[in-house]
Amino acid sequence: MRYWLLVLNEDDFTEQQAYEADSVKPVADVPAGAADGDEVALAGPGGVFALGEVDGGAVAYRRRFDEPSAPAVFAEAADGSAEEGWSALDPQAWEVLVGALPTAERRSDWLVALSIPVEAADRAEAVRLFWSYVRSLGPTELPTFVAPYGREIEGTAFLLGAEHEQDPED
């Protein structure tokens, strides 16, 4: 088994933060030395955001983090070069990198809400306009509000999976 670091460009990273996906198909093909089952740390501009494994021409996610983390370890593991693309890691660098990442949190229920006032002639038109509006703005411009289930007062606005200051009344 080999260990890899895959640094995504900013656009691909943003896309991965916006939507839930089982895997990522990198722009740069999987290196010749990589085999199915090899471990991969996926990184973006802020550091490592997920762990996965090589699966054909893609990287299947095993674990994602709330926020990119371990930038110092990430830079060290990448031999100081956090350039876009693939880098091979030796087992010791892999252990340092993985050891610095946050531990897995217990899964819990969340209430995620998106509420938009829509002016329309009837309910069906209102729904169509709602989805058109949501699609046109997408996750880069349209905040969603997330709260632990049953504790809605603790809600926070998010854009692209990152906390964002936003008054729900705005």
More confident residue, 72 or 91: 91
The pLDDT score that the predictor gives to residue 119 is 93
What are the extents of the domains in the chain?
3-99, 110-163
pTM of the predicted model over 0.75: no
What's the token pair of residue 134? 């949501």
> Exposed (0-12), middle (13-18) or buried (19+): which is 58, by Cβ within 10 Å?
middle
The predicted model gives 3-9 an average pLDDT of 92
The pLDDT score that the predictor gives to residue 34 is 92
Distances in Å between the Cα of 166 and the Cα atoms of 17, 141, 143, 145, 152 are 19, 12, 8, 9, 16
Rounded distance, CA 21 to CA 72, Å? 27
The pLDDT score that the predictor gives to residue 132 is 92
The pLDDT score that the predictor gives to residue 39 is 96
Least confident of 5-14, 25-34, 63-72, 85-94: 63-72
Q: What is the CA radius of gyration of the chain?
A: 19
**To which CATH superfamily is domain 3-99 assigned?**
PUA domain (2.30.130.10)
pLDDT tens string 90-143: 898 888 888 888 787 777 888 888 888 899 999 999 999 999 988 898 888 888
The pLDDT score that the predictor gives to residue 103 is 80
